[in-house]
Amino acid sequence: MDKKSKLVIIADADIQVRQLVDRFLTDAGYTVEHALDGYEALDKARKTPPHVVLADILMPKLDGLALCRLLKSDRATEHIVTVVMFSVLASEERAMKAGADGFIRKPLEKHRVLMALEEAARKRNGIA
């Protein structure tokens, strides 16, 4: 599957973060959708299963950790969704306990985001 056919949902309450990551991903050939919170990301993932959900841990309504647990336990998304979490907090251990396939510490940089998506996908597919 080439990147053009890979959908990434970016879940973050901060529009500037969503726009920055959107630019990183679209420049790399991914298709991108945005979600303002965990509930919106979950709804979008159920309707159109993405290749990856890239989610901030600190979001309103439904935080990224709860979103990750729901995506990993939901019959509609459990087998197809790779979840990469990000945060300003040193929360990698918490993210992995929630079922995340990868973690990025902010500030987000293009090469780190793209590398995290690729590594998480390889890990999820048993290649890493």
Decide if 113 is inside a domain: yes
Indicate the pTM of the whole model: 0.90
pLDDT tens digits along 19-60: 999 999 999 999 999 999 999 999 999 999 898 999 999 999
Q: Is the dihedral of CA 28, 128, 102, 66 positive or negative?
A: positive
Confidence of residue 76 (pLDDT cuts 50, 70, 90): confident
CB 38 within 8 A of CB 68: no
What CATH number is given to the structural domain containing 62?
3.40.50.2300
8 Å CB contact between 96 and 125: no
CA distance readout (Å), 111 to 25, 62, 119: 10, 28, 12
Is position 21 within any domain?
Answer: yes
Least confident of 14-18, 55-59, 73-77, 101-105: 73-77
Q: Does 33 map to a domain? A: yes
Structure tokens at 109: 């940089």
